[in-house]
Amino acid sequence: MIPELGHFAIVLALCLAVGQTLVPAVGLLRRNPVWISVAQPAATGQFIFVLLAYFALTQSFLVNDFSVAYVAHNSNTDLPTVYRVAAVWGAHEGSLLLWVLMLSLWTLAVATFSRNLPSDIRACVLSVMGAISVGFLLFMIFTSNPFERLLPAPEQGRDLNPLLQDPGLIIHPPMLYMGYVGFSVAFAFAIAALVSGKVDTAWTRWTRPWTTTAWLFLTFGITLGSWWAYRELGWGGWWFWDPVENASFMPWLVGTALIHSLAVTEKRGVFKSWTVLLAITAFSLSLLGTFLVRSGVLVSVHAFATDPARGVFILIFFAIVVGSSLLLYAWRAPSFTSRAEVRLLSREGLLLLNNVFLVVAAAAVFLGTLYPLVVDALKLGKISVGPPYFNTVFVPLTLPLVFLVGFAAVMRWKNNSPRQLLQRVGYLVPVAVILGVLFPWIALRSNSVVVSVALVLAFWAMTTAVADVFRWLKSGLGKSRQSRNIPLAIWGMNLAHFGLGVFVLGVTLTSAYSVERDVRLFPGESADIGNYAFRFDGVHEEAAANYDAQVGIITLFRASDEIATVRTEKRRYRAQGSVMTDAGVNARLDRDLYIALGEALDGGAWSLRLYYKPFVRCIWLGGFLMVLGGLLAVGDKRYRMKLRQRQDSVVDKNTLAAEA
């Protein structure tokens, strides 16, 4: 019964989505405010029904209803409850439902928080989001119904893919989808701009917080994905340039360019059509990602069970959405003109360069990901493009960004002289050089030219961000409480840029100085990496809810002081007999000690893989700092509605100073 109700709920949601798309659009053409006002209740209704459908599917998982095909394929009575809930989005159909849920959530949010928008813009935005909903709901109903029955129902389900039975599954996909889907808001705003023919400060003021919010969720999702892969896949890697990973990274790169480009358009009214194009591109890349993951066109460890028929549907949807928006762009964008001078040594110029590098980097990832397909389609053979290519190409394209970011805080709008810049930030150059060159020596007793260059840049990013915060704090001393408050946007910007530096530091040191050893140990024997000793204390058996494990215990020593005990397991999941290794990690900010249990060898010995990974945590710390930075930036009082109403006529002193 409940699955049928869920199915029905989706159909109802579709009807409401169609209404949300068409009625306000017609209302816009006919200037009928009543029709336009249909958007909000339609959005609310859509959200309610999608949520009901989502609960119906979750319920089916919780009660182990194996008559629902999706539950039978992805669950098991022995599966722990928390994973039964997460399994809802563990495979194609359910994750699609999650997509739609996120979309209806974002739509509801936009409908609720945009009461100050002119009604024609609001109608357009909600109508576009409704259209996207319609597409995905149709896709679900016709090709990927999560409520499809499997009769006769099997007694036991197939179990969730063991790789997914990890806390990472609980949080990574929802956050990632919040980001992916969130860019649809920027997209909808871009369409609204094209339709209305206006890109003005007001438009950018509305678009910026939504875009930054989507961006920070996507950053969070990608960072979590990397952390999860590191723990799950057993060989200490944190990024594989896998097509599905790239599918999430491309929108992120373009999204980052977009949030920066929006700043320029807001402040100086330039790059209008470029910003609109970026907004369209970011969401288009989200859609492309959806296509790549679910169509089977590219080979990936991540890909869902693939089906070319589904691929055809998504491709047609992609063609309609992106094709029509770009057609609209070609028609209307040329009318966005701006008459302002842009100099290289200005914040606009700096952000222009930022966009150049980010967009070219995204293009490089795009090229590498799709190239095998191009070569195959042109019948020129089959090639593989993997980490060796991406690492070689990506690093030189993005390292200049780390250099540019140091000027972010001190570069004023319109014009700066080289002397002014030198004055404001020149003193940090020797600081960064000293820190960058000394840090590897102090922390790891080693260094090289490449490492030094990268670390100097990383410290450059970090010190300039810290210096800016100090400058603000200093200028706030002795002033009234109100004028002392540093705008959250400043905190956000510097925190995010600082996070970038931390990220670069982590990547550089872990890539250069990780040590890996494959060893054969008898219980009681030890192996060393540098100052650390790993003593193998033997393997014993344990049984858990849905798997049997051989658990290895390793005691860690540092210069003969015992520091920790670590477990690593070889799990055999009973449902399908699949075997998985769960690595044991002793984590610290400055290093991870990572152990993976290998095979049992003759005589009671075991093979083990040991890793020493310096500063690997900084990779994710950097990511999380960027997320936090984004969060603070969105919280800036510029965007708070009530405040904005009060201040719309009064110029805010601090904000002016911040933007000067």
Residue 584 is inside which H or E element, if any?
strand 584-588
Residue closer to other proteins, measured from CB, 147 or 612: 612
Question: In angstroms, what is the minimal distance from the CB of 644 to other proteins?
Answer: 18
Residue closer to other proteins, measured from CB, 364 or 556: 364
Residue closer to other proteins, measured from CB, 233 or 453: 233
Question: In angstroms, what is the minimal distance from the CB of 74 to other proteins?
Answer: 15
Residue closer to other proteins, measured from CB, 276 or 533: 276
Question: In angstroms, what is the minimal distance from the CB of 352 to other proteins?
Answer: 5
Question: In angstroms, what is the minimal distance from the CB of 419 to other proteins?
Answer: 17
Residue closer to other proteins, measured from CB, 162 or 173: 162
Question: In angstroms, what is the minimal distance from the CB of 308 to other proteins?
Answer: 5
Question: In angstroms, what is the minimal distance from the CB of 321 to other proteins?
Answer: 10
Question: In angstroms, what is the minimal distance from the CB of 415 to other proteins?
Answer: 8
- What are the distances in angstroms from CA 87 to CA 40, 74, 75, 84, 164? 32, 7, 7, 5, 8
Sign of the CA dihedral 359, 389, 217, 292? positive
What strands lie across the sheet with 515-521, from one edge to the other?
Answer: 515-521, 606-614, 591-600, 584-588
Residue with tokens 């290519």: 389
* 257: its two tokens: 């360019």
Residue closer to other proteins, measured from CB, 280 or 533: 280
Cβ–Cβ < 8 Å for 616, 510: yes
Residue closer to other proteins, measured from CB, 313 or 460: 313
Residue closer to other proteins, measured from CB, 69 or 244: 244
Residue closer to other proteins, measured from CB, 589 or 600: 600
Give DSSP secondary structure letters for 423-440. HHHTTHHHHHHHHHHHHH
Residue closer to other proteins, measured from CB, 51 or 444: 444
Cβ–Cβ < 8 Å for 134, 23: no
Question: In angstroms, what is the minimal distance from the CB of 25 to other proteins?
Answer: 22
Residue closer to other proteins, measured from CB, 545 or 657: 657
Residue closer to other proteins, measured from CB, 300 or 508: 300
Residue closer to other proteins, measured from CB, 77 or 161: 161
Residue closer to other proteins, measured from CB, 531 or 576: 576
Cβ–Cβ < 8 Å for 520, 597: no
Using DSSP's 3-state secondary structure scheme, residue 361 falls into helix
Question: In angstroms, what is the minimal distance from the CB of 332 to other proteins?
Answer: 9
Helix 167-196 and helix 243-268: axis angle, to 10°?
A: 40
State the Cα–Cα distance between residues 22 and 378, nearest whole angstrom. 41
Question: In angstroms, what is the minimal distance from the CB of 399 to other proteins?
Answer: 12
Cβ–Cβ < 8 Å for 354, 400: no
Sign of the CA dihedral 602, 603, 606, 607? negative
Residue 231 is inside which H or E element, if any?
helix 201-232
Question: In angstroms, what is the minimal distance from the CB of 5 to other proteins?
Answer: 34
* 569: its two tokens: 């397991």
Using DSSP's 3-state secondary structure scheme, residue 73 falls into helix
Query: 592 forms bridges with which residues in the sheet?
Result: 587, 613
Question: In angstroms, what is the minimal distance from the CB of 187 to other proteins?
Answer: 14
Question: In angstroms, what is the minimal distance from the CB of 273 to other proteins?
Answer: 7
Chain Cα centroid distance, residue 643: 30
| 14: exposed, middle or buried (Cβ count in 10 Å: 0-12, 13-18, 19+) | buried
Give DSSP secondary structure letters for 598-636. EEE-GGG-EEEEEEEEETTHHHHHHHHHHHHHHHHHHTS
Which residue blocks in 333-414 are alpha helix, DSSP H? 347-377, 387-405
Question: In angstroms, what is the minimal distance from the CB of 240 to other proteins?
Answer: 8
Query: 259-297 b/e with 16+ CB inside 10 Å = b?
Result: bbbbbbbbbbbbbbbbbbbbbbbbbbbbbbbbbbbbbbb
Q: What is the CA radius of gyration of the chain?
A: 27
477 secondary structure, DSSP code: T
Residue 51 amino acid letter = L
Question: Which residues touch 618 (CB under 8 Å, ≥6 apart)?
Answer: 502, 503, 505, 506, 509, 510, 589
